[in-house]
């Protein structure tokens, strides 16, 4: 019996959450889960907040994860981790990319970016893992693979074997980018 798992991927438009979601959905499908994926896009590419909800279970009804229901939140940006924190189970896992992207209200001085996001979350969530995905991605040769570094960290926390992940990655990523993405996945997985 496959254990139900609810995962949220949150970030900012353009960070590659959609590709990461595709790989997660693919791997879950390959190992026999029923899946529902819900994403809000449309405004996403204009730098807005992006959230994807992925529900894995033998049978999924609602495509939406309830408040306090997510087993894992994979956050591509610190502020977004805070924004969606209420969706995490109290004993859930928070994976945060240690990157700040200023929203426009902050850029123009109408709001401030809080400086204690990580400390607050660490104080609330025992299982918090902070990853410097952007630096790792740059070292791998492409800043845009930060999403795959983060996906690999998520992979370690889910009961799905590494080989299945690598197969799904190969199936989803365009061929000309596969090498750099494999390297990024490897770095994330061995952190």
Partner 1 sequence: MKQLMSGNVAIARGAYEAGVTVGVGYPGTPSTEILENFIKYPGIHAQWSPNEKVALEVGAGASIGGARAIVTMKHVGVNVAADPLFTLAYTGVNGGLILLSADDPGMHSSQNEQDNRYYALAAKIPCLEPADSQEAKDMVAQALEISERFDTPVMLRTTTRVSHSQSMVEIKDRQPVELKPYNKNPQKHVMSPGNAKVRRVQLEQRLAQLKEYSETCGLNFISWGDKQVGVITSGISYQYVQEVLPNASLLKLGFTNPLPEKMIRHFAAQVDKLYVVEELDPFIEMQVKAMGLDVIGKEIIANIGELSAYDVAQAFKKQGVSVAPQYVQSANPLIDEQAPQAPGRPPVLCAGCPHRASFHVLRKLKLTVTGDIGCYTLGSAPPLSAIDTCLCMGASVGMSYGMELANPEFKGKTVAVIGDSTFLHSGVTGLMDVVYNGGSTTLIILDNRITAMTGHQQNPATGKTLMGQPAPEVDIEALVKALGVKRVQVVDPINIGVFEKIIKEEIAAAEPSVIVARRPCALLNKESQQPMTVIKDQCIGCKMCMQIGCPALSFNDKKATIDGIQCNGCGLCSTICKQQAIVKGGQNNA
**Binding residues for partner 1, per CB under 8 A?**
12-13, 25-26, 29, 34-49, 60-64, 66-69, 79-80, 82-83, 85-86, 88, 90, 102-117, 120, 124-125, 142-144
CB of 73 to partner 1, least distance (A): 10
Of 64 and 178, the one with the shorter C-beta distance to partner 1 is 64
Give phi and psi for 77, each to the nearest 5: -155, 145
Of 21 and 189, the one with the shorter C-beta distance to partner 1 is 21
Cα(120)–Cα(66) distance, integer angstroms:
22
Are the C-beta atoms of 10 and 72 separated by less than 8 Å?
no
- Which residues, at least 6 apart from 160, have a Cβ–Cβ distance to it below 8 Å? 27, 28, 31
Of 67 and 190, the one with the shorter C-beta distance to partner 1 is 67
CB of 151 to partner 1, least distance (A): 17
CB of 140 to partner 1, least distance (A): 13
CB of 112 to partner 1, least distance (A): 7
């Amino acid at each position: 019996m496959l254990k139900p798992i609810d995962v949220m991927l949150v970030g900012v438009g353009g960070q590659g959450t959609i590709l990461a979601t595709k790989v997660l959905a693919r791997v879950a499908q390959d190992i026999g889960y029923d899946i529902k994926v819900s994403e809000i896009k449309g405004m996403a590419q204009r730098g807005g907040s992006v959230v994807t909800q992925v529900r894995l279970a033998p049978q999924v009804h609602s495509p939406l994860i309830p408040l306090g229901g997510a087993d894992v939140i994979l956050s591509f940006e610190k502020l977004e981790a805070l924004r969606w924190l209420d969706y995490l189970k109290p004993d859930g896992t928070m994976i945060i990319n240690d990157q700040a992207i200023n929203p426009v209200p902050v850029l123009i001085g109408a709001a401030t970016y809080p400086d204690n996001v990580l400390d607050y979350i660490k104080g609330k969530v025992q299982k918090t893992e902070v990853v410097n995905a952007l630096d790792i991605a740059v070292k791998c040769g492409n800043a845009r693979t930060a999403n795959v570094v983060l996906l690999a960290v998520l992979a370690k926390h889910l009961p799905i074997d590494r080989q299945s992940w690598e197969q799904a990655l190969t199936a989803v990523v365009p061929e000309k980018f596969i090498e750099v993405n494999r390297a990024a996945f490897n770095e994330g997985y061995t952190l």
